[in-house]
Structure 1
Amino acid sequence: MDRELSATTKQVNKRKRYWQLGIAVALLALAVFGFRTLITPTINREALRTAVVEQGPVIATISASGVVVPEQEQVITSPIQARIEQVLLKAGEQVKTGDQILLLDRAYTQLAYDKLKDEQQLNQHKSVQLRLNLRKTLNQLASQLTIKQLRVKSLQAQLQDEKYLLKIGGTTQESVNQAELNLRIAQQELSEIQQDMATERELLKADEQELGYTLAMQSRSIEELQRKMEQAEVRATHKGVITWVKNEIGSTVNAGDVIARLADLSSYKIKATISDSFAEQLKVGGSTIVRINDTDLQGIISSIEPTVSNGIVTFYVALQDKAHALLRPSLRVDVFVTTASKGNVLRVKNGPYFNSAKGQQVFVVQGNEILRKPATIGVSNVDFVELEDGVKPGDVVVISDMAEYEHTEKIKLK
């Protein structure tokens, strides 16, 4: 027979059920927490690179490769076609103004020089002959002129006599007419001789001018050849260092061929190259930073080559301190071309994370955890990255490569 439980028994059973339910809930919570602990990734703190968010300027740049070159380099070319006879100085040697670098064989040019001298003397002799021939011709014409003048006077007298005789009836009109005709012919011949003399003088003047031009051109050619023969003793025109010299003794060079390069190592510039995809961001006068080890040198783009070679654009940077102690010929440097500049913004040191980040987010260290937070990434350079929002000054941001955790909300630190 069933009996109703007492109030005390019911109270005990009720408490017992509460305890059982509480233990079950506790075990369930413990299981959930343990599972979450098992699936939450963990990173060793020592393997992370972090940086503190701060305020400061960020100058956006694009990177280029550069090499230090002398600001001024003289290209020495061969003044003549010649054979290299002797090399007196080698690449790398310092020179002073007037130092001889190499010697060219001048035999071929000497022959051309001697030929021009002979032609000049021949033309000078021709000029003398012209004057002598003119003098002879003028003397002959002068003699003929005198004879014609005497004949004209004689015919004038005969005409007067004929007119007088006609007046007194001693001759006929035909004789007077004939005397007049003879006088006109003689006067015409006299005029022709005078014109011949004037023409001969003009011809002489023209021939002398032509010869004068020829002699002047020959003189210039002789002076040029003489200067080239002097330049065959190839000498430095200013103080510097030989960066290259054609040292193949016995080889033949043509006029205009480069035979040596001379650089002034007291000042330098940067020859930089960059992908043509950044060509539109380059402009003459644009600011640049040239980094040598940990030293930054300021500069501006002085010129940009108009042609693109194999997808590469070449430009030159003029340095503010073009004689800095770290500058050396052919030294490889990093060049950063400024594209934008921001003043007092939130920034963090650049690192591998920002090179691989695919979204607008950052990982912030909070105690023993790393939390993924949305953040807007702004302008950047090789040193700093702007964070427009999502962080505040003093936050510690992970800058290591976090590509494998880009979808993870929380990461444990150990």
Structure 2
Amino acid sequence: MDRELSATTKQANKRRRIWQIGIALAVLVFAIVGFRSLLTPALRKDKLRTAVVERGPVVATISASGVVVPEHEQVITSPIQARIEQVVLKAGEQVKPGDQILLLDRAFTQLAYDKLKDEQQLNQHKSVQLRLNLRKTLNQLASQLSIKQMRVKSLQAQLEDEKYLLKIGGTTQESVKQAELNLKIAQQELQEIEHDMATERELLKANEQELGFTLAMQGRSIEELQRKMEQAEVRATHNGVITWVKNEIGSIVNAGDVIARLADLSSYKVKATISDTYAGQLKPGAGAIVRINNTDMQGVVSSVEPTVTNGIVTFYVALQDKAHQLLRPNLRADVYVELVSKTDVLRVKNGPYFNSTAAQQVFVVQGDEAIRKPAKTGISNVDYVELESGVQPGDVIVISDMAEYQHAEKVKLK
């Protein structure tokens, strides 16, 4: 038989239910808070890179790799086909104008030089022989001319006599006609001799001109060979440093082969390479920044090679300060060719965040949270990124890689 519970028991049961409900509510609250903390990711502040949004210029650039080279480099080629007889100076040594670098064997060229000299002397003798032969021929023709002139005068006198005799009846008309014919023949022979003399003079003039041309060409060839033999003593023409020399003694080099390179180390330029994808954007005259050991140097694209080799385009940058103290031959450099420039825009320092995602959004630091906000980026370079919308000057944004948190509304900062 059931008994009615006492008031004390009822009160105890009531307090027990209240405690149970309270504990359950507390567990529920802690569960909700814990779940929300699980949904909101957290990052340590000292692991983040941040930057402040500011106003300033941004220049869009494309990146290339470069190497410092002397602005002026003399390529010395062999003037003749010869054997390398002696290497006087080695690569790395400084030279002054007139310093000998190499010595080439000149024996073969000397033979060709001597042969030309002999041929020139022979042609000079031919010229003398031509004049002597002409003088002899002209003397013979002059003698014949004198005889013909006297014969013409004699025949002219005979003709006059025949005409006089015909007039007084002392001769016949046929004798007069014969005298006239003899005079005409003699006059024709006289003209032929005069013509032969003129022809001989013209022939001599032509032969002398031909020999003159031959002698002039041989003279130039002799001078060229003489100059080449002098150049066989390979000498520097200006101050500089030997960057390379063919030091294989006894080897044969052909005329035109490169045997040494001489660089002027007082000024430099940068030889840069870039993918042919950007070939259409490279233009001579475009501004460029050359960065060496975190030092920026201003320059301009001076020339672009027209050929593409293995998908690579080569171009050269002329520096404003060609003699900067950091410049050294073969020193590696980063080259940034300027494309578009904006003077007064919102910008922030470039960082891994802008390289790891293409999403148009940023994380703005507010207190202990980094809140994701939509933002539109513009032009950029290795140093700065333009922000066209979504931020204000003074905002602190995260520039660390945030690829893992792109779908989070906010990130707690610890």
TM-score range, shorter chain: over 0.9
Could you tell me how far apart the structure 1 residues matched to 2:177 and 2:389 are?
128
Scaled by the length of structure 2, what TM-score is found? 0.92
SS in 2 for 1:194: helix
Could you tell me how far apart the structure 2 residues matched to 1:281 and 1:66 are?
17
SS in 2 for 1:80: coil
> Which residue of structure 1 lines up, in the alignment, with residue 316 of structure 2?
316
> Which residue of structure 2 lines up, in the alignment, with residue 115 of structure 1?
115
How far 1:166 moved relative to its partner?
2.0
Where does structure 2 lack aligned partners over 5 or more consecutive residues?
Answer: 1-13
Could you tell me how far apart the structure 2 residues matched to 1:132 and 1:190 are?
24
The Cα offsets for residues 18-41 of structure 1, whole Å up to 9 and x where unpaired, read as 999887666544322221113332
Greater CA drift, 319-328 or 49-58:
49-58
Greater CA drift, 70-79 or 41-50:
41-50
Within a 5 Å distance, the mapping from 1:74-89 to structure 2 comes to: 74-89=74-89
> Which residue of structure 1 lines up, in the alignment, with residue 50 of structure 2?
50
Within a 5 Å distance, the mapping from 1:118-129 to structure 2 comes to: 118-129=118-129
SS in 2 for 1:322: coil
The Cα offsets for residues 281-322 of structure 1, whole Å up to 9 and x where unpaired, read as 211111111101111000011111111111111111111101
> Which residue of structure 2 lines up, in the alignment, with residue 273 of structure 1?
273
Report the AA paired with residue 312 of structure 1. Answer: I
Greater CA drift, 241-250 or 50-59:
50-59
How far 1:98 moved relative to its partner?
0.8
Report the AA paired with residue 343 of structure 1. Answer: T
Within a 5 Å distance, the mapping from 1:9-48 to structure 2 comes to: 27-48=27-48
SS in 1 for 2:389: coil
Could you tell me how far apart the structure 2 residues matched to 1:209 and 1:281 are?
60
The answer on 1:219 being equivalent to 2:219 is: yes
Could you tell me how far apart the structure 2 residues matched to 1:58 and 1:189 are?
100
Within a 5 Å distance, the mapping from 1:62-211 to structure 2 comes to: 62-211=62-211
The Cα offsets for residues 303-349 of structure 1, whole Å up to 9 and x where unpaired, read as 11111111111111111101000000000000111112222322221
Greater CA drift, 377-386 or 215-224:
377-386
Note the aligned Cα RMSD (angstroms).
Answer: 2.1
The answer on 1:394 being equivalent to 2:374 is: no
Could you tell me how far apart the structure 2 residues matched to 1:407 and 1:100 are?
72
Could you tell me how far apart the structure 1 residues matched to 2:409 and 2:349 are?
23
The Cα offsets for residues 41-90 of structure 1, whole Å up to 9 and x where unpaired, read as 22222222222222222222111101101111111111111111111111
Could you tell me how far apart the structure 1 residues matched to 2:279 and 2:156 are?
97
> Which residue of structure 2 lines up, in the alignment, with residue 264 of structure 1?
264
Report the AA paired with residue 80 of structure 2. Answer: I
Could you tell me how far apart the structure 1 residues matched to 2:257 and 2:121 are?
33
SS in 2 for 1:325: coil
Greater CA drift, 182-191 or 20-29:
20-29
> Which residue of structure 2 lines up, in the alignment, with residue 290 of structure 1?
290
The Cα offsets for residues 185-230 of structure 1, whole Å up to 9 and x where unpaired, read as 1111111111111111111111111111111111111111111111
> Which residue of structure 2 lines up, in the alignment, with residue 374 of structure 1?
374
Report the AA paired with residue 112 of structure 2. Answer: A
> Which residue of structure 2 lines up, in the alignment, with residue 9 of structure 1?
none
Report the AA paired with residue 391 of structure 1. Answer: V
Could you tell me how far apart the structure 1 residues matched to 2:17 and 2:389 are?
53
Could you tell me how far apart the structure 2 residues matched to 1:215 and 1:248 are?
39
How far 1:169 moved relative to its partner?
2.1
Could you tell me how far apart the structure 1 residues matched to 2:146 and 2:66 are?
90
SS in 2 for 1:184: helix
Could you tell me how far apart the structure 2 residues matched to 1:347 and 1:190 are?
107
Q: Percent identity?
A: 81
The Cα offsets for residues 346-377 of structure 1, whole Å up to 9 and x where unpaired, read as 22211111111120111222222222221111
Structure 1 segments (4+ residues) deviating >3 Å: 14-30
Report the AA paired with residue 206 of structure 2. Answer: A
Could you tell me how far apart the structure 2 residues matched to 1:129 and 1:392 are?
101
Could you tell me how far apart the structure 1 residues matched to 2:348 and 2:325 are?
31
Could you tell me how far apart the structure 2 residues matched to 1:85 and 1:52 are?
68
